[in-house]
Amino acid sequence: MMRYVTTFFFFIFVFSQCNLLASTKSNIIKNLNNTESLSFKFKQHIGDKTQEGNCLIEYPKKIYCKYEKSKKILVSNGKKLVIQNLKNDQYYIYPIEKTALNLILDKNFLLEKIKKSDGDIIDEKYLRFKFVEGEYQINIFFDIFSHNIIGWQNIDIYQNLVITYLFDLKKNINVRKNQFRLPNPTNN
Cβ atoms of residues 27 and 19 within 8 Å: no
Tens of pLDDT, residue by residue over 111-153, are 999 999 989 999 999 999 999 999 899 999 999 999 999 999 9
pLDDT digits (tens, 9 = 90+) for 143-169: 999 999 999 999 887 888 999 999 999
Q: Where are the domains of the chain?
A: 2-187
What are the tens digits of pLDDT across the range 24-52?
A: 899 999 999 999 999 999 999 998 899 99
What pTM was estimated for this model as a whole? 0.84
pLDDT of res. 159: 87
Fold of 2-187: outer membrane lipoprotein receptor (LolB), chain A (2.50.20)
Buried b (16+ CB within 10 A) or exposed e, 125-140: ebbbbebeeeeeebeb
